[in-house]
Amino acid sequence: AGSARWWALLSVVLLAGCAMSVPNPFERSGGPPQEIRLRVENQGFNDVRLFVVTVRGPQFIGQVRGHTTRTLTIPWTRLEELSIRMEFLAEDSYVTNRVNAAPGDLLELIIPRRAANATLRRR
C-alpha cells in the first residue's frame, strides 16, 4: 500500500513537471519590443556616422557607407520625439526633422546627395 502511494505521488510530480515545460502557443515570445528599427538609404557618395538625438542628448547608432541601404536598431523603451544627426567625413553635419517614435516602430531615413534635404519618417 505504501509503495502504491509512493508511485502515485511520483506520477503526479512527473506529470506536473511535464505540463510546466510545454510552451503556450498563444503567448508572445520575447515580451514587448525594446527597440526601434531605422532603415537608412544613403544616396550620397560619402559614408555617414549617425546619432539619435533626444532630450537626453546624442547617442551613436552606426555608420552607413555611401550608396548603400542599411537597417540599424536603436534601444528604445518609451514614446519619445527624436531626430537623427548625420556626420560626414570632410563635410558639414546635418540634423533631420523630428518624429515621435515608440518601441517596435520602423523609421526610414533617406539621405539624398544633398544631405541637407534628408527626411526622416515613420513607416
Exposure class string for 86-102: b at 16+ Cβ within 10 A, else e: bbbeeeeebebeebebe
Nearest Cα residue to 54 out of 69, 72, 36: 36
Write out pLDDT tens, residues 36-81: 999 999 999 999 999 999 988 899 999 999 999 999 999 888 888 9
H or E element at residue 19: helix 2-21
Distance of CA 52 to the CA centre of its chain: 13
pTM, two decimal places: 0.72
67, 43 contact by CB (below 8 A): yes
- CA-based torsion, 20, 26, 29, 35: positive or negative: negative
